[in-house]
Amino acid sequence: MVRADASSAGAPCPPSHPVCAVAGHFMGKKSVTGSPHLEAAEEPAVPMVFGPSLRALLEDMMELLTRELLKILLQERLLDENQGKYDLTGQETGLLTKVLEKYFSN
């Protein structure tokens, strides 16, 4: 790999060099633009048959719905990860009940 600056044209680029590190990061990565699951950048998200103001409104709604969906999915994931963390065993529940009874009786 060669450095991007002209002062050392042709000199090998060490892996610690920022330009080389970034370039090395993308080596071997496949392009995702050819994926059938992704829309092309040129295609509008809302069909052109709608007027400009309606298209803008629909695009805003799509953005809001996307954000809400991502928020719900994140909440669901956090709930799944935390499920069972705070489940008390029978012994712990009994001990906690005794401590609370003593606390409230005083």
Split into its structural domains, the chain has a count of: 1
Look at residue 39 and tell me if it is in a domain.
no
Residue 6 has pLDDT above 50, yes or no: no
Look at residue 35 and tell me if it is in a domain.
no
The pLDDT value given to residue 90: 72
- Dump pLDDT digits (tens) for 43-99: 656 667 778 899 899 999 999 999 999 999 999 998 888 876 766 677 777 888 888
Look at residue 10 and tell me if it is in a domain.
yes
User: 30: pLDDT confidence band, cut at 50, 70 and 90?
Assistant: low
Which spans in the chain are helix H? 18-25, 52-82, 90-105
Domain that holds residue 72: 6-27+50-105
Look at residue 76 and tell me if it is in a domain.
yes
Look at residue 37 and tell me if it is in a domain.
no
The answer to whether 13 and 35 have CB atoms below 8 angstroms apart is: no
Look at residue 65 and tell me if it is in a domain.
yes
